[in-house]
Amino acid sequence: MNPAVDNEFQQWLSQINQVCGNFTGRLLTERYTGVLDTHFAKGLKLSTVTTSGVNLSRTWQEVKGSDDAWFYTVFQLSGQAIMEQDERQVQIGAGDITLLDASRPCFALLAGVF
């Protein structure tokens, strides 16, 4: 893996961890996309994660290191992703919405279009 790409990915993953809670991540390709935008509206935090070519996951280790008594609401705006939690897996596409319990491990394959 290109060290410059890996460094850029690690910086992006660090931003994800600061804003969204603890995650581990793995690059799937050097041609990944990683952008994070955060907005606040009347006490509601909205983080828009634009990404492809990565795996993001929360293992029990990441969950234990967090105080995450909430849900992640995933709005898939374009492309496709695979979300997994509690041995349940779903492929979502543009226009789909899913919830992930932040207090439990989860896995997201954000590879773009399958």
Range of the domain at 43: 3-112
Residue 58 has pLDDT above 90, yes or no: yes
SS3 53: coil
- The pLDDT assigned to 112 comes to 61
DSSP 8-state assignment for residue 79: S
Please give the tally of structural domains in the chain.
1
What mean pLDDT is predicted for residues 2-21? 92
- Please give the Cα distance from 74 to 101 (Å, whole number): 11
* CATH number for the domain harbouring residue 80: 2.60.120
